[in-house]
Structure 1
Amino acid sequence: MLRNLGIQVSDDLIAELIKDASKTGNGLIDENDFMQWVTKIQALQGLDVTTSGGDSEEEITRDLLAAFKVFDRDDNGYITRDELRAALEMIGEPVTDAQLNQVLALGDIDHDGRIDYEEFVKMLL
């Protein structure tokens, strides 16, 4: 089913994602948890980040925040270099150090070595 969604991941990563997506931590995901997880992955891959005619500003904001939260693994409000690398590798986009530097240079507007939500939105839109 994940392949039909265009998501390519290893078995180990699937196990980790299921654990993360499970609200109870028991490894079981209900339909709502699954749909939230799919939305996050799609937003991360850029499928829901731009307007597609009928998306409201609220829907776009929600999708961008979901994508940001996928990157911000420790939920501290910032995407670090390591979090950026991990998120890109999670969606099958391994990056070199030079590529990471380029992304950080584009997104890190205040040059503090990390990307906050506002910088993330500006980078994507």
Structure 2
Amino acid sequence: MPPRPCELCHEARAILKRPKTGQQICKECFFRVFETEVHNTITDAKLFKPGDRVAIGASGGKDSTVLAHCMKVLNDRYNYGLELFLLSIDEGITGYRDDSLEASFTSHPQMLWRLTLGRS
């Protein structure tokens, strides 16, 4: 059976089925649809205004990394005028989150604020 084409662009091969719609779509269309839905939510709910400083909680995991990336892309694409920062909390417990904190620093080092708790 040949690979199914994307139900949106009809050109690329579909690689996933969206649970929300049941559509089988390609990677590029998934990114476009996802980013459009996030943008529509931001604008419909009037979540931000130009000049707002927005801190994004950054654990170094996939969820916060995707959120930070998406917000940066949309801020640049739609000129929201936001000042974006990643905020990562170091609880001061040696070995507890060292790897995830390091991942936060390497994903978007220009955006990161580091808050350290419990270290003297």
Q: Which has the higher helix share?
A: 1
Decide: shared fold, TM above 0.5: no
- TM-score normalised to structure 2 length: 0.24
